[in-house]
Structure 1
Amino acid sequence: MKQHRAVCGTVATLLLGLSACSPIDSSDTRYETDYANHEPLHVFGYPSTGSLQVVQEIVWRLADGKAGDLEKLATSDSTDSETRKTAANWVKSFQKGAQGKVAADFYDEASERQVVVLYFQGTQQVKEVTVRLDGNAGEDGWRVMMNEVSLKEAISPPTWAPKEPGGNGSVSDS
């Protein structure tokens, strides 16, 4: 019996040591922490898992004022300078709104690309973003197009979108 306890103790110590040394998926941990620390996103329409996740992360990076982290969510077809300027414009313009209640209206189907209209309820701002699958983005694949280098362009609300989220059934008229 004494020998059995010694073996079990050794195995338990070994397993604890292995689990303490095993890598923790920092992206999962970061997502869970972000989710717990931010206002939940109110969603309309039919996002895919990937399009929803990237839009949620866009709102979180805006709320936190982290333009550098927002840049990391950009598609590969924007230049570094376009992405940097766009991220700065978006944070400057939408940070306050992203810290409160935000609704996201997902338009069309989300097999490769999706237009999303963000409604920042506290500031009454509306922002259109386009997210798409990006072959250079790795496993998750979804990224946001960031090529609005002028502040005027960045803050211009979409003229076609309803004034309130969910007002058009989340399907474009095109």
Structure 2
Amino acid sequence: MRPRPVLRAALASVLALVALSGCSADDEADLRYAGDYSSHPPLAVVGYPSMGTLGITQQVVWHIADGKAGELTSLADPDQDKAAAEKTADNWIAAFRKGAGGKVTAEFYDEGSYRQTVVLYLHGTSQIKEIHIRPMSVDGKGVWRVIMAEPDPGEATAVAPWVPKTPGELGSKTAR
């Protein structure tokens, strides 16, 4: 998929500004996000994400689609076991890479100020993946991180009984 002219112009402007002003770590992250955004299919959304929950969910889908286990693992809750997060990233990529590269709908459940359940519907493969994200402080900054504690491939691909088969069936309210 080729970037749209408006996105290309915006990205070129950002790159020029960064080149003229120097590049901080935040600028580099913004550039990576802009590049990822313009090179992936748009994520369809159901429910009520915050800017933070939407941003990290997009990154999860993009890193799965691109097979970037290291980048996916970097989104994990830092309080988790690192080996389990790495194995979970490998499992998610092995199971969902093909579907994550196509049309994806993310349904955001419940209120998202302190944690959020997100169900990913991978339309091309008819797969469903539930993820959990929560806010935390990392290096003094408020960020969202993903719970990645599914080192068993069966657990990584299991669909909870409450998860609907199609987006919107529960009105973005968990039925647990």
**TM-score with structure 1 setting the length:** 0.86
Asked if structure 2 preserves the Cα contact closer than 8 Å seen for 1:51 and 1:142, the reply is yes
Instruction: Give the RMSD, CA atoms, in angstroms.
Output: 1.8
- Using the TM superposition, give the Cα deviation of residue 140 of structure 1 relative to its aligned residue in structure 2, in angstroms: 4.7
Point out where structure 2 has 5 or more consecutive residues left out of the alignment.
1-15
- Using the TM superposition, give the Cα deviation of residue 43 of structure 1 relative to its aligned residue in structure 2, in angstroms: 0.3
What letter corresponds to residue 34 of structure 2 in structure 1? E
Residues 164 and 68 of structure 1, relative CA distance in 2, 3 Å threshold: same
Point out where structure 1 has 5 or more consecutive residues left out of the alignment.
1-15
What letter corresponds to residue 132 of structure 1 in structure 2? R
Q: Report what 2:100 is aligned to.
A: 98
Q: Secondary structure at the match of 1:146?
A: coil
Q: Secondary structure at the match of 1:85?
A: helix
Asked if structure 1 preserves the Cα contact closer than 8 Å seen for 2:85 and 2:149, the reply is yes
Asked if structure 1 preserves the Cα contact closer than 8 Å seen for 2:162 and 2:175, the reply is no
Out of 127, 152, 164, the position equivalent to 1:162 is: 164
Between the aligned residues of both structures, percent identity stands at: 47
Q: Report what 2:114 is aligned to.
A: 112
Q: Report what 1:145 is aligned to.
A: 147
Report matched runs for 1:1-174 at 5 Å: 20=20, 22-23=22-23, 25-136=27-138, 139-174=141-176
Cα distance in 2 between the residues matched to 1:98 and 1:115 = 18
Cα distance in 1 between the residues matched to 2:54 and 2:139 = 16
- Using the TM superposition, give the Cα deviation of residue 117 of structure 1 relative to its aligned residue in structure 2, in angstroms: 0.4
Cα distance in 2 between the residues matched to 1:152 and 1:138 = 36
Asked if structure 1 preserves the Cα contact closer than 8 Å seen for 2:99 and 2:122, the reply is yes
Cα distance in 2 between the residues matched to 1:62 and 1:110 = 23
- Using the TM superposition, give the Cα deviation of residue 54 of structure 1 relative to its aligned residue in structure 2, in angstroms: 0.4
